[in-house]
Amino acid sequence: MRGLDSPRNGPKLGWSRVGGISQTRRVFGVLIRIDSVTKRYPDGTVAVDRLSLDIPDRSITVLVGPSGCGKTTTLRMINRMVEPSEGTILIDGVDSRQQSVNTLRRGMGYVIQNAGLFQHRTVVDNIATVPRMLGWSKDKARARARELMERVGLDASFAKRYPYQLSGGQQQRVGVARALAADPPVLLMDEPFSAVDPVVRKGLQDELLRLQAELGKTIVFVTHDIDEAVKLGTMVAVLRTGGRLAQFAPPAELLSDPADAFVEDFLGADRGIRRLSFFSSGGLDLLTAPVVAVDATAEQIACRAASDVPYLLVTGLDGRPLGWSEPGALTAGRVDVGQLLPYGRPFVAGKDSLRAALDCAVLSPTGWAVAVDAEGRAAGVVSQTAIGEAIRGAHAHASAHAASVDPKAATR
Amino acid sequence: MNRFFDIPSDLQHDWLGLIVVHLREALLPVLGGLLLALPLAQLCVRLRWLYPPVLWVTTVLYAIPSLAFFVVLIDYTGQTELTVMIPLTVYSLVVLVPAIVDGVRSVPQETLAAATAMGFGPVRRYVQVQLPIAVPAILAGLRVATVSSISLVSVGMLIGNQGALGNLLHDAQIYNRPELAWNSVITSAALAVLADGALVVVRVLLTPWMPGAKRGAKSRTAGARPESAAVPALEDAAR
């Protein structure tokens, strides 16, 4: 649609999404440029104060901050539901005031808290709203709506239902489908998931990331939840009360390098732990010596007991972990599975992050984390100490990497 | 009982004829009131400051006795049905304007914001989003206005037998036939109940999307079973 296939004039910006181990360097253009925009209301309140942001295309940019930081106002200035008092907003290099406001809005999907569905229209007609306004035939618009229902994970049987017959999570899926109906290049999302319960919210977040991987929209996402921002954002803009930008950075950099005390405070006390989500567990040295099968012979047990580990992990005949045992308590051929210490929740080596690995180690009664492969078979065990070393290694690697690519090029 | 439907000839209508006149005199004002109230309510929604004075004016007008209205109007419109219908139209506004304003205002903020963000202009938004969602409130107002209008028509008797079924009250007195008064009261009441019922049916037909209309909506949704709404909700929670 508009702009996505035209050559880009803006500068190409590059940065790495993951600080340390798995480096996927992506290159983006700027689709929306917010240029020293101020919103001042007649009573003198300043909602947004000289804000400048370059929102890269085909990625999720999250605006996050406490209430009253002007994040929703900023979002609504992009589709001109709020008109800026000063400054300009360029969409793909063109001033947003140069086209009619309704044309501008029909080119941008909008998802709102509680979905804001039209309660008097069926699900399929809700989704078909914008295509119908753009002059599509009823059949074509409805066919498109049904296609989108499938895309956002809604069963076709919902098509003829009314919004009141759906759960909050399903309504929000309809809201996302409705925003995508005319295939706009831009998606504006205003706290879309904050009114649903945490389990549904996590599902919707994962679904959004999956959709985004398929569709590659330019998404501007407003939330007050820093965890959501870190999870979803390619770039995160932290705004402070009074509508000023505190920091604009990829989430890993935000966690490792908060610009000031406000950002650090906003990120919360456990930002160090959360940053580990961006480091892969693939670099951990897994020990296989303390892993012993349930049908092991006396020699095998003795040999493993000699490898200087306080506990052995007993696995079943299929290779799945069963539990921990002290070496002395194991008798060949007579392993009592009921006597084993629980092994807790294992992590998937290479797929899960260091955060997951550390969590497993902390929760494990022995202080050792169990790594499994994709099929759930034990791949090895790793101690808290080893994970700690891996974390320090990842940090060192990240800062060396950051120095070489100069992250300021991305944050500007 | 055979004299119950024997309408004196000075009324120039039989019983069914009186009913037709009565409904015309009662329902046209409600329709006129609705046509006036829709734009007026839209103005009150858009200009918040306008609503209190409009409400005040409609209430004051409602407080004017119909007889006083007739006295003023008779100079212009004479002893006609129009003289009866104009006050009834004005009276219906006191119910209809607040019903529409409250109905339109009850549309959730998110729905309005979503409509605006999708590129609905103010007129399209009012007609396609706000009014349909206000239908239950508007019909609730219409029911009150209709029933009250049907009962008020009888006053038209005072300006030269323009009160349709109400004229029977006068005839009951002058011909000393109390059964005509019973006829007037019972027929008016029956008309009011039937008109009210008809509006309820209209409301149900217009709002298949309301939770209350569950059974109707269910039978419309092919293959929807009673438990089917709960099952996807659980599936969603499990995700």
Query: Do both B54 and B139 map to the same domain?
Result: yes
Query: Is B123 part of the contact surface with chain A (CB cutoff 8 Å)?
Result: no
B209 neighbourhood in chain A, CB within 8 Å? 119-122, 162-164
Query: Is A194 part of the contact surface with chain B (CB cutoff 8 Å)?
Result: no
Helices B178-206 and B167-174 meet at what angle, rounded to 10?
170
Query: Do both B130 and B227 map to the same domain?
Result: no
Please give the Cα distance from B199 to B219 (Å, whole number): 22
Predicted confidence (pLDDT) at residue B118 exceeds the cutoff of 90? yes
B4: in domain: no
Identify the residue among A119, A193, A200, A207 best suited for mutation to test binding to B, counting B beta carbons within 10 A and taking the highest: A119
Quick check: pTM over 0.90?
no
A199 neighbourhood in chain B, CB within 8 Å? 237-239
Query: Do both B199 and B224 map to the same domain?
Result: no
Query: Do both B194 and B219 map to the same domain?
Result: no
A106 neighbourhood in chain B, CB within 8 Å? 118-119
CA distances from B63 to A321, B90, B101, B156 (A): 84, 11, 21, 17
Query: Is B106 part of the contact surface with chain A (CB cutoff 8 Å)?
Result: no
B126: in domain: yes
B3: in domain: no
Query: Do both B112 and B34 map to the same domain?
Result: yes
Q: For A112-148, how does the pLDDT look when each residue is reduced to its tens digit (9 = 90+)?
A: 999 999 999 999 999 999 999 999 999 999 999 999 9
Q: How many domains does chain B have?
A: 2
Residues in chain A where the model's pLDDT stays below 70: 1-29, 307, 402-412
Query: Is A162 part of the contact surface with chain B (CB cutoff 8 Å)?
Result: yes
B185: in domain: yes
Q: For A200-214, how does the pLDDT look when each residue is reduced to its tens digit (9 = 90+)?
A: 999 999 999 999 999
B1: in domain: no
Residues sharing a CB contact under 8 Å with residue A59, sequence separation 6 or more, in sequence order:
A26, A28, A218, A219, A234, A235
For the CA atoms of chain A, what is the radius of gyration? 26
Query: Do both B124 and B219 map to the same domain?
Result: no
Query: Position A103: which residue type?
Result: T
Q: For B183-225, how does the pLDDT look when each residue is reduced to its tens digit (9 = 90+)?
A: 999 999 999 999 999 999 999 999 999 887 544 444 443 333 3
- Going along chain A from its start, the domains and CATH numbers come out as 13-107+184-278 (3.40.50.300), 282-391 (3.10.580.10)
Max Cα distance, chain A (Å): 84
Query: Is B226 part of the contact surface with chain A (CB cutoff 8 Å)?
Result: no
Query: Do both B74 and B146 map to the same domain?
Result: yes
B2: in domain: no
Query: Do both B190 and B220 map to the same domain?
Result: no
Query: Do both B112 and B36 map to the same domain?
Result: yes
> Residue B236 is part of which domain span?
214-239
Query: Is B224 part of the contact surface with chain A (CB cutoff 8 Å)?
Result: yes
Please give the Cα distance from B17 to B7 (Å, whole number): 10
Return the residue of B nearest to A182 by Cα.
Answer: B118
- pLDDT given for residue B236 in this prediction: 40
* ipTM at complex level: 0.75
- pLDDT given for residue A399 in this prediction: 79
Query: Do both B133 and B239 map to the same domain?
Result: no
Query: Is A163 part of the contact surface with chain B (CB cutoff 8 Å)?
Result: yes
Predicted confidence (pLDDT) at residue B98 exceeds the cutoff of 70? yes
Return the residue of B nearest to A199 by Cα.
Answer: B237
Q: CA of A124 to nearest chain B CA: how many angstroms apart?
A: 13
B57: in domain: yes
Q: Report the half-sphere exposure of A232 (CA within 13 A, side-chain side).
A: 34
Tokens (6 digits) for A175: 């809201």
Choose the most confident range, by mean pLDDT, from A182-186, B28-32, B102-106: B28-32
Query: Do both B123 and B190 map to the same domain?
Result: yes
Query: Do both B184 and B218 map to the same domain?
Result: no
Q: For A76-89, how does the pLDDT look when each residue is reduced to its tens digit (9 = 90+)?
A: 999 999 999 999 99
